[in-house]
Structure 1
Amino acid sequence: MDKKDSRDSSASNAAATPMMAQYIEIKTANPDCLLFYRMGDFYEMFFDDAETASRALGITLTKRGKHRGADIPMCGVPVHAADQYLQKLIALGHRVAVCEQTEDPTEAKKRGSKAVVQRDVVRLVTPGTLTEDALLAPGRNNYLAAVSRQKAGTDEPDRFGIAWIDISTGEFRLAGSDSGRLAADLARIDPREALVPEPVFSDPELGAFWRGLEMAVTPLAPALFDSTTAADRLAAYFGVATLDGFGHFSRPETSAAAAILAYVEKTQIGERPPLVPPVAETADGVMLIDAATRANLELNQTLAGERRGSLIAAIDRTVTGAGARLLAQRLAGPSTSPNEIANRLDAVAFFLSDQGLTASVRDQLAAAPDITRALSRLALNRGGPRDLAAIRDGLAVASQLAGQLAGEGRPSAIAQAIEGLSAGPDELVAELTRALADDLPHLRRDGGFVRDGYRDDLDEARKLRDESRRFIASLQSRYADEAGIRALKVKHNNVLGYFVEVSAAHAERMLQPPLNGRFIHRQTMANAVRFSTTELGELEAKIAGAAGRALAIESTVFDTLVDTIATEADAIRQVGVGLATIDVSAALAVLAEAEGYCRPIVDDSMAFTIEGGRHPVVEQALRTAGETFVANDCALGPEGADDAGHIWLVTGPNMAGKSTFLRQNALIAILAQVGSYVPARDARIGIVDRLFSRVGAADDLARGRSTFMVEMVETAAILNQAGPRSLVILDEIGRGTATFDGLSIAWAAIEHLHEVNRSRALFATHYHELTALADRLPRLRNVTVRVKEWEGDVIFLHEIAPGAADRSYGIQVAKLAGLPASVVARARAVLTQLEETDRQSPVQTLIDDLPLFSVARASPAETRDVDPVADLLDTVRPDELAPRDALEMLYKLKALSHRA
């Protein structure tokens, strides 16, 4: 009935039909979502939803009846292919309400021929609440975050609490933040969707920030973030009396956590994802990397938005989705704990020492399904038989690995992982093995996933369903023998069901004892007589309901297995963590062996010494092209125990490799604190608490920012936030404006880094004048990228050496780029004249006369020019001026302007 209705485009007034009335009622309750309205084998959309979906999905827009005299737009997608359409809609920022039929159409028919099948929204699909494999990237967490704010005093920054979960894996974490690091924290978490209170979302000071995030931002009612009831809501969700057993959470953290749970309950509509209790992260536990630095260093994707060419693509050798996610998590937030880093490096060394064991372990891991995501789907009632098999197979692999890796003297990270692998219940594996068939359907409603012999009643139902003809033939043969009538037949019609039929000539025998006690007369025809038996009646009922009964028994088995799995959820999660940890450790060992990486020393010092460092991404690209990467050293650590980090001022021509050198040292620091071996001969790195990078040029026209403005905003963030333990990478500061403006800004920035931030830093520049600062700044070192000139051309050696470049070789590079010879010749002539002019007004004079930078001298109050007109205007309150007073003020302003 519904399927026919879904494709009927008659001219009837559909808005008046019960079905369309039902649609409008459900749509009204979900105004901010596209409504997937289930009609038979399709999800249909109407009105504006249909027009929006048609454009977004590239599907045909049709019509169905009329509403208020106008055609009703309509489009639909097949139920079996809904996931791929959902993926497109979610990627475009849409939210979808999935409305299912909640009763069988045959039940609706019992209420009347025009009765509407009952429907209801069973789920709201948003970017942060996905669980289906088809909608998720195997190697990436799908985080949903909530941000709560606690207003601070006048002189203090606002405090924020961040909660984030991954419904597909059950992770639940909390962290405190503040206005200075909120952007960096969100960049580290990288959620697909962020929830914020409406007042915070509409705050004028934060509006541009929320709009600039590359994620879906969903404002919610402030009541969901109510901190007075947040702790109680959290405790109720996890079934505890108090949160003390989970740890200490700040007020904004608790508020954010309660809001995220409320949102999950709203979107999942009655289903509760199996979240682990929240875990608080300390603010100083990970290296803080802001969004601009992540983009500049291309950690997860290139500036063109591709994974290929990024750091994660270069180092990822994992063979499981869970391992890839764990590696991405570590890369997003490198540890700042030397002990934790050492434990991770020990695990890598363990696998590096036994290549045969590593290969065997990786072969087994490759066969391990993603059990944590399978567990979540089953808990949310979205799983299928293959998810049951994933649990079985994952636990089986874990058990084998635990036995293979067991032994004395294992590194602590490996020992902890083995403990997790051993947590899997063997009896559950055995039960799932007994219960599940070899060939499994995707959906439970398809049936056929329970193994023959597991349930006697199921075997009987299947036998009746699949072999009913053979049963009837066998029964007919037996009845014919009993009656002595070879022409006896067992037949079926919709009125009598199954019956025994004999010719009129044999009917008399059937009506006489002893046969009349066995065969019951039902109907006399002109040439035949029909009988029934108790056995046929029972068989009729069995056969008629055999298929439905078989499916119902399988569904019961499925639910029982899911309930059993739910009781072992914590153990299954431990197994999942163990598998991911082993995968990452083995993968990093494979990486280190293949790429010739070394084990770094990471400690609490301020050291930063890299010998023979290489860029992990560029090196692989050059190898593919048949070229060799030129390794370089870097030493930014202090020379004395109480000294601060050094700044290297890197000069040299374009294309010589300055940016590559800067980036590679930042990436080596990240890899070291991830717990990976690094591309170098030797490395010692004191913990880097914050990493800043200002590399490359890009505009942000959507927010009204030019290339130079973006450069200055990023530079300002560095100079305002970097500290002694930070690593700062700056490339070509000040190049986006006039020469003297840019030189001045770069000059002041270097002095600020040296005197105020006191950070370890690499500063690349084309302003050769800045090299003179090394004579007055004791921790500034000049290095340059070596080049050779040969017959007017420049040869790049890509070697970093002490000293300073005397020129940029820009014209030689322009010649290599193919500029016309006439342009190159003219440029040489102009350059000669400019250099002659520059020699007549050397910068050294400025250096000799300009006092050294100091914080006090940089104070705006002491350095701004005095403007009497502006000072007078600051005292004016226009609303309080009488006409005469306003006239006198004009005369004063005119007099002051003449003096100026």
Structure 2
Amino acid sequence: MKSDSTVRFFNRVDYYSCHGSDGLFAAREVFKSTSACKQLGLLLVKRYRVEVYVNKGTNRNQQWSLEFKGSPGNLSQFEDILFVNSDIGIGTSIIAVKLGSEGKSRLVGVSCVDPLTTVISVCEFLDDESYSDLEALVVTTSPKECLLLSAEGNKEFQNIKDVMERNNVLVTLRKKNDFSTDSLIQDLNSLLKFKKGQQENSQALPETSLDHAMSSTAALIKYLDLTSDAANINQYRIKQLERSRYLKLDGAAIKALNIDPPPGLQSVVSGGSTTSIQGLLDKCRTPLGHRLVSQWVRQPLKDLALIKERHDIVEQLVNNNDLRKVLSEDHLRRVPDLEQLAKKVARKNGSLQDCYKIYMCLMHIPIILETLSSSDDNTAAMKTLIIEPLKELISDLEKFQEMVEQTIDLESSDSGEFLVKPEFNEDLKDMKETMENLKNKMEKEIKKVGDDLNFDVGKTIKLDSTLEQGYFFRVTLKEEVNLRNNKKYEIFETHKSGVKFRSYRMTEINTDYLSTRNKYEEEQKSVVIEILQIAASYSNLIKSVASTIAILDVLTAFAIAAVNSTNIFVRPNMVSSEEGILNIKQARHPCLDTQPDVHYIANDCAFKRDESQFFIITGPNMGGKSTYMKSVGVVALMAHIGSFVPCEEATISLLDCILARVGADDSQEKGVSTFMIEMVETATILKTATSNSLVIIDELGRGTSTYDGRGIAWSIAEYLAKEIKPYCLFATHFHEIARLAEDVPTVKNYHVSAIVEKDDIIFLYTVKPGICDQSFGIHVAKMVNFPSDIIKFAEKKQAELEDGENISFKGYKNAEEKRKIVAEGEKLIAKFVTKCKELDESLSEKELLDKITSYKNETIASGNPYIAALLAEA
């Protein structure tokens, strides 16, 4: 019995087939293009499991058996299908979670495996019942899949499963035996690559003392079947996850701040659209950079020195136009996916072509270094993070370059053929000579063909080649008419780049050439194996080069994003958390800035610890409250990842987390309501936030009754403002909550302004001090042309439901003064009621009435306009 998230394909040799519900799903989602393999990969990245079956029997007696399978976190069996002709490796990490207990706390053991970088990361920590720390870890590591110990009906298991599903992580259930550590040390001893001089016993490593994390590691090793692949032996390293290094984000913040692009294969490989922060900043030119920027947006730093180093480099690249342009448009685009190539050579399943690509990249890095070093405005950060590490690495890789030059025929490699030098033996020399003679014959043949067809050789007609097809002639599409119906020539391929064809003589020469080259490749195999064994010893150095180039690529992309923006980006002034400042002038949302026909209204935000830390924001729907709060969150996030920020000026104290509760939706397939989702998200905020956190809460309490919602929203706002004291933006339609500013000095009221003209409402999108003194719901209904009868009935019902809550009276200039008058009136009324309750019950009815009348006259004599209006209404 398969799960709904598994799609089964049947390999029919020439095509794949699906059946039943899988067939309907495949018709709708998979076979939309001619590349079935690419669509299979898209399924995996979109969080589906894929199984491919092959027929081991005959056409009459079919015996279908599982050929290979994959899941979002386990692409190993699909690598040859998906990436056989690609140097681009997709980052796919997978985690496993093992839960234990320590007293009343929950002990969480996590292991994360990244097959591309061959790193096993582990950690253990105590967590609360909402698993807020686990969620932050999931956000940071961005796994595609999570292994859990099956425990249906267990509340803790369900809570962890909810965390994963909330963050779009596919959950795979495993048996208890999979988490057994009986053979773990032996497996780690095989998988890990120990440092020189280090004891080759994983049991001596500090990471193996984390019992629950090791159980999770054992489950991952079994699930990925790492030890069965000889190419994995001595390739992995293990480390502890540094959770304290990164600013904490929850899944709600990722959605609210539009950090990630829409899920899909293309966004993973080459960035996303400008509707996301990642897409906006991802101007990278290398696959390395694309992967790193997707990590950085989920891993904002908490280290002030490291943040400033990134800002220093971005500032240099922003100010130096020539350096920025030459890096992006020339140097970086020449860098292949060094991480993927390093993985191939480390596993000894690479090729001469892989070695050649690494060599050509290493040959170009000194030019990059020369470009960087010649810049007069180099910062200490540029030297420390980029220039000096690259110089050392290039020096260490000189012998690799020498090995390539001494063994690989670079002249042939330049033309797309990857052969060892013929000097290794006489047979290779003879075959090389034969191949050169055949090439000379091809050159003579193209001249004959050019004369016959009246084509200019080298311009109209060219000699071209591929590894699979060998050599052929190529002309543009418009010249195809001269070949049509000409029996001397055979056209075998036509597409946008031109027409490929051969003469009969050329076909003979090419056949001889391919035959000789195949013999050459067979003869050179032993030499190639030796070359690849030597290359494997340099894999860690190549990964280090990749890491440094990726940093340069991402920081260059940040500079490009800042310079290319239609509005100003500035370097934020980052200060320590003790400063207690979050002051942003004219903040904008950078994604909206890129949208056509959008004129964004910028606004200020000035938090100051112990003075103004909690902003209650009121105003109409569509008035800009949510966008304003998101823009503040985005500026804070971008500042912490090392980017310039979209505003005129920013001073930002170091934050420890950004938490959000913005616009929850029903999740009907999981049986979770809007109100439940917002309560879960808010519970996480209350348990996670500190005085150094930025909290964004929008429209809390909408999913229940008005009075329930108001009470919950008020109590949460008061707890945050009085107890936790974070930097908080709290948008609400419950205007009564604005009274909190009277009791808590650090609470300030703001509103988004609007102008009402007859039946129309004009949104100004400007955030101003004070509260919004009216509701605009009925005006909005009028804007969208509700029937007039419904509008009138709504106005009538509004008046009935308010029942004195919005009593009309004079004597105030603004909403703040009106609220003070109401508050004073309610105190006088409460005082009147108290006096009446304290009257001696032994008094006669007339005496009681006289006393009450006296108290009433005293209250009226205060001259409070609110009380006068109430009496008039009565």
- TM-score, normalising length: structure 1: 0.69
Following superposition, the deviation at residue 121 of structure 1 comes to: 9.1
Does the CA contact (< 8 Å) of 1:608 and 1:634 recur in 2? no
Does the CA contact (< 8 Å) of 1:613 and 1:665 recur in 2? no
Deviates more, 1:169-178 or 1:223-232: 223-232
Change (3 A) 1:355 1:236: same
Q: Is 1:605 the equivalent of 2:566?
A: no
Which residue pairs with 2:231 in the alignment? Answer: 271
Q: Is 1:169 the equivalent of 2:111?
A: no
Q: Is 1:722 the equivalent of 2:689?
A: yes
Which residue pairs with 1:412 in the alignment? Answer: 381
SS in 1 for 2:231: coil
Q: Is 1:662 the equivalent of 2:662?
A: no
Q: Which amino acid letter does the alignment assign opposite residue 164 of structure 1?
A: C
Which residue pairs with 2:161 in the alignment? Answer: 210
Q: Is 1:184 the equivalent of 2:139?
A: no
Does the CA contact (< 8 Å) of 1:782 and 1:804 recur in 2? yes
Give the one of 801, 804, 810 matched to 1:837: 804
Following superposition, the deviation at residue 714 of structure 1 comes to: 1.6
State the distance in 1 between where 2:299 and 2:431 align. 55
Q: Is 1:152 the equivalent of 2:101?
A: yes
Does the CA contact (< 8 Å) of 1:611 and 1:680 recur in 2? yes
Change (3 A) 1:382 1:233: closer
Does the CA contact (< 8 Å) of 2:703 and 2:709 recur in 1? yes
Q: Is 1:634 the equivalent of 2:600?
A: no
Does the CA contact (< 8 Å) of 2:193 and 2:237 recur in 1? no
Change (3 A) 1:647 1:470: closer
State the distance in 2 between where 1:129 and 1:783 align. 50
Give the one of 755, 758, 769 matched to 1:802: 769
Following superposition, the deviation at residue 58 of structure 1 comes to: 4.5
Change (3 A) 1:697 1:53: closer
Q: Is 1:193 the equivalent of 2:142?
A: no
Does the CA contact (< 8 Å) of 1:98 and 1:125 recur in 2? no
Residue deviations 1:442-501 (CA, integer Å, cap 9, x gap): 9xxxx9422675655335346668979999xxxxxxxxxxxxxxxxxxxxxxxxxxxxxx
- 1:82-121 equivalent positions in 2, closer than 5 A: 82=37, 84-85=39-40, 87-88=42-43, 91=46, 93-96=48-51
Q: Is 1:333 the equivalent of 2:333?
A: no
Residue deviations 1:519-542 (CA, integer Å, cap 9, x gap): xxxxxxxxxxxxxxxxxxxxxxx9
Change (3 A) 1:121 1:556: farther
Residue deviations 1:330-373 (CA, integer Å, cap 9, x gap): 11111111111111111212222322111112220011111111
Which residue pairs with 1:586 in the alignment? Answer: 556
Q: Is 1:281 the equivalent of 2:241?
A: yes
Change (3 A) 1:780 1:303: farther
Q: Is 1:319 the equivalent of 2:288?
A: no
Change (3 A) 1:839 1:651: closer
Does the CA contact (< 8 Å) of 2:95 and 2:113 recur in 1? no
State the distance in 2 between where 1:127 and 1:354 align. 41
Does the CA contact (< 8 Å) of 1:609 and 1:683 recur in 2? yes
Does the CA contact (< 8 Å) of 1:143 and 1:191 recur in 2? yes
SS in 2 for 1:683: strand
Change (3 A) 1:836 1:404: same
Q: Is 1:253 the equivalent of 2:213?
A: yes
Following superposition, the deviation at residue 239 of structure 1 comes to: 4.8
Change (3 A) 1:280 1:419: farther
Following superposition, the deviation at residue 587 of structure 1 comes to: 1.4
Following superposition, the deviation at residue 682 of structure 1 comes to: 1.7
SS in 1 for 2:766: strand
Following superposition, the deviation at residue 270 of structure 1 comes to: 3.2
Q: Is 1:731 the equivalent of 2:698?
A: yes
SS in 1 for 2:342: helix
State the distance in 2 between where 1:850 and 1:164 align. 63
State the distance in 2 between where 1:771 and 1:705 align. 30
Does the CA contact (< 8 Å) of 1:300 and 1:311 recur in 2? yes
Does the CA contact (< 8 Å) of 1:124 and 1:268 recur in 2? no
Q: Which amino acid letter does the alignment assign opposite residue 783 of structure 2?
A: L
Q: Is 1:142 the equivalent of 2:82?
A: no
Which residue pairs with 1:374 in the alignment? Answer: 341
Following superposition, the deviation at residue 580 of structure 1 comes to: 0.4
State the distance in 2 between where 1:55 and 1:584 align. 41
Which residue pairs with 1:616 in the alignment? Answer: 589
SS in 2 for 1:151: strand
Which residue pairs with 2:734 in the alignment? Answer: 767
Q: Which amino acid letter does the alignment assign opposite residue 573 of structure 1?
A: K
Which residue pairs with 1:113 in the alignment? Answer: none
Change (3 A) 1:559 1:661: same
Q: Percent identity?
A: 24
Change (3 A) 1:658 1:167: same
SS in 1 for 2:148: strand
Does the CA contact (< 8 Å) of 2:749 and 2:769 recur in 1? yes
Change (3 A) 1:601 1:847: farther
Which residue pairs with 2:72 in the alignment? Answer: 127
State the distance in 2 between where 1:824 and 1:546 align. 86
Following superposition, the deviation at residue 100 of structure 1 comes to: 13
State the distance in 1 between where 2:252 and 2:277 align. 15
SS in 2 for 1:662: helix
Which residue pairs with 1:488 in the alignment? Answer: none
Does the CA contact (< 8 Å) of 2:276 and 2:591 recur in 1? no
State the distance in 1 between where 2:626 and 2:280 align. 18
**5+ long unaligned stretches in structure 1:** 1-26, 60-74, 102-118, 472-541, 852-900
State the distance in 2 between where 1:727 and 1:662 align. 10
Following superposition, the deviation at residue 793 of structure 1 comes to: 2.4
Q: Is 1:293 the equivalent of 2:262?
A: no
State the distance in 1 between where 2:786 and 2:349 align. 62
State the distance in 1 between where 2:656 and 2:108 align. 20
Give the one of 400, 404, 417 matched to 1:428: 400
Deviates more, 1:665-674 or 1:215-224: 215-224
Which residue pairs with 1:571 in the alignment? Answer: 541
Following superposition, the deviation at residue 272 of structure 1 comes to: 0.8
SS in 2 for 1:128: coil
Q: Which amino acid letter does the alignment assign opposite residue 705 of structure 1?
A: V
Does the CA contact (< 8 Å) of 1:369 and 1:393 recur in 2? no
Does the CA contact (< 8 Å) of 1:317 and 1:591 recur in 2? yes
Tell me which structure has the larger Cα radius of gyration.
1
Give the one of 321, 329, 334 matched to 1:355: 321
- 1:495-506 equivalent positions in 2, closer than 5 A: none
Change (3 A) 1:416 1:191: same
- TM-score, normalising length: structure 2: 0.71
State the distance in 2 between where 1:176 and 1:315 align. 33
Which residue pairs with 1:497 in the alignment? Answer: none
SS in 1 for 2:535: helix
State the distance in 2 between where 1:242 and 1:743 align. 60
State the distance in 1 between where 2:676 and 2:49 align. 32
Following superposition, the deviation at residue 629 of structure 1 comes to: 2.0
SS in 1 for 2:243: coil
**5+ long unaligned stretches in structure 2:** 57-63, 195-199, 442-511, 809-818, 831-874
Following superposition, the deviation at residue 724 of structure 1 comes to: 1.7
State the distance in 2 between where 1:366 and 1:827 align. 61
Following superposition, the deviation at residue 569 of structure 1 comes to: 0.6
Alignment coverage as a number of residue pairs: 704
Deviates more, 1:399-408 or 1:695-704: 399-408
State the distance in 2 between where 1:462 and 1:724 align. 73
CA RMSD of aligned residues (A): 4.4
State the distance in 2 between where 1:390 and 1:701 align. 50
Which residue pairs with 2:419 in the alignment? Answer: 450
SS in 2 for 1:559: helix
Does the CA contact (< 8 Å) of 2:582 and 2:653 recur in 1? no
State the distance in 1 between where 2:652 and 2:133 align. 24
Change (3 A) 1:815 1:585: same
Does the CA contact (< 8 Å) of 1:122 and 1:269 recur in 2? no
Q: Which amino acid letter does the alignment assign opposite residue 92 of structure 2?
A: Y
Q: Which amino acid letter does the alignment assign opposite residue 220 of structure 1?
A: R
